[in-house]
Amino acid sequence: SYELTQPPSVSVSPGQPANLTCSGDKLEDKYVCWYQQKPGQSPVLVMYQDNQRPSGIPERFSGSNSGNTATLTISGTQSMDEADYYCQAWDSRTAIFGGGTQLTVL
Amino acid sequence: QVTLRESGPALVKPTQTLTLTCNFSGFSLTTPKMCVTWIRQPPGKALEWLARIDWDDDKLYSTALKTRLTISKDTSKNQVVLVMTNLDPADTATYYCARIFSPGSYHIDYWGQGTLVTVSS
């Protein structure tokens, strides 16, 4: 079965860029989206179709997908960006979620 | 305004059947390319996709859980129902329903608030 792999945790200093990765076999052949989830809240879509930002999502969020790795980049990370981030893609009529990355801003 | 709200029992005994209802508003499941999906999240763990039902009644299920899941819709009531059989304590999770309306990428654009289901005797 298809798997998406994310690092469990990433730490970044305020104002610095954060690169969150998501790896899967030939991932570039699939559309990847990203969800942000803060404690006690439902997930929120922050990126879709690899690099499309939904309305209301700050411009500091960007995405890419090449080879076996998709990346969500947060430029100028802010304390409000501290959250869990999940990548997701579809494979053979099945939705696959990555294990999530806990982003810490300190 | 799109909203989704999950409802169901908060506590279920092992081996019992769980029925969850998603009531939604602001869209119709008769609209071409519209979908409703269910995702769950055990406490402190990652999201896990369960099932999806499409506007044309196509139904997709998690490979790991497909023998235990049934998804259905009632377009007249704006409802989607998920039935899960033979519950186990490992099924303890927050269950979310969500909307997909994005031909091509099938990303989730709206989520419900989730409902916590505990499986315990």
Per-residue confidence in pLDDT tens, chain B, 121 aa: 999 999 999 999 999 999 999 999 999 999 999 999 999 999 999 999 999 999 999 999 999 999 999 999 999 999 999 999 999 999 999 999 999 998 778 999 999 999 999 999 9
CA distance to partner chain B, nearest, from residue A97 (Å): 6
Pairwise CA distance, residues A34 & B115, whole Å: 22
pLDDT of residue B102: 81
Look at residues B91, B113, B96 and name the one whose alpha carbon lies nearest to residue B42. B91
Q: Which two tokens stand for residue B72?
A: 């259905």
Tell how far CA A45 is from the center of its chain: 9
Contact status of A31 with chain B (Cβ, < 8 Å) = yes
CB contact (8 A) between residue B107 and residue A33: yes
CA distance B41 to B47: 5
| Cα–Cα separations (whole angstroms), residue B107 to A31, A78, A89, A94 | 9, 25, 8, 12
Residue in chain A nearest B47 by alpha carbon: A97
Give the separation between CA B98 and CA B5, rounded to whole angstroms. Answer: 9
**Does A45 sit within 8 Å of B106, measured CB to CB?**
no
Tens-place pLDDT, residues A55-79: 999 999 999 999 999 999 999 999 9
Cβ separation A97–B96 shorter than 8 A: no
pLDDT over 90 (residue A83) = yes
